[in-house]
Amino acid sequence: MKSYLAAAIQLTSVPDLQKNLAQAEELIELAVRQGAELVGLPENFSYMGEEKDKLAQGDAIALESEKFLKKMAQRFQITILGGSFPLPVDNTGKVYNTTLLIDQNGQELARYYKVHLFDVDVPDGNTYRESSTVVAGTQLPPVYFSEKLGNLGLSICYDVRFPELYRHLADKGADVIFIPAAFTAFTGKDHWQVLLQARAIENTAYVIAPAQTGNNYSRRLTHGHAVIIDPWGVILADAGEKPGIAIAEIKPTRLEQVRRQMPSLQHRVF
């Protein structure tokens, strides 16, 4: 593992596939111009809209999303995480909430189907039933072992509330953990930052958290604040509340230092 720059992209994705991909490409290019070699996109980066519309366009969204990720990786010679997009599941009328990790040659390195679905009545009056259109994954997320970028662990949004999933990633050797999200504005103001810092601290790993922000459609408001956090829980970069990027250096020396000074993973009893 070497030192390198990583970027967490922040978008306001809307019910317009091509518009979203154009916005994403612009910000990916901006990140690459600043030197980023590892780039993460948020959950639902290619489409955010009413569930019925998402399902109706599911095949097109999935096809274009995967094609886009491979094109961006090859064009800019980066490793890219497609935070998530809907992938239709045969004979169900539903989709997987899917994240893909793609290398600079356009080859798929890892994929993960979100296992924790957001079925929540938020105190602001909004109700979310992700399970009404999404099939839960049945496999714990993978860790991709990269000599250059470190060991990269995958997860998606609501997973962040389930620390056992991240302990699994730590057990697998994760150095860097992706948490792409479309966190609601209401829950985000109280929980987003503290949950991300906790996952970084307890697993002594870097966290890269791309995010949705603003008014995506109808009453769907997302929190923003895409961040990169170091293994001590220090926020290295924060994209704020508008579309943009959070970019920071991932340092193996920092990882080693924190794990030496706070060897909590070695002290586990359970």
Three-state DSSP at 184 gives strand
Nearest in space to 79 (alpha carbons), one of 181, 255, 208, 235: 208
Q: Do residues 33 and 68 make contact, with C-beta atoms less than 8 angstroms apart? A: no
Three-state DSSP at 265 gives helix
Three-state DSSP at 16 gives coil
Residue 43: active-site member: yes
Q: Do residues 3 and 175 make contact, with C-beta atoms less than 8 angstroms apart? A: no
Name the catalytic one among 37, 54, 157, 251: 157
Name the catalytic one among 37, 43, 64, 66: 43
CA angle 74–142–38, rounded 5-degree value? 35
3-state per-residue secondary structure call for 37-65: EEEECCCCCCCCCCHHHHHHCHHHHHHHH
Q: Which H or E run contains 145? A: strand 143-146
Q: What gap in Å lies between CA 159 and CA 27, rounded to an integer?
A: 25
Q: Do residues 206 and 170 make contact, with C-beta atoms less than 8 angstroms apart? A: no
Name the catalytic one among 54, 70, 114, 251: 114
Residue 148: active-site member: no
List beta partners, residue 129: 119
Three-state DSSP at 142 gives coil
For residue 2, count other CB atoms closer than 10 A to its CB: 11
Residue 50: active-site member: no
Catalytic residue numbers read: 43, 114, 157
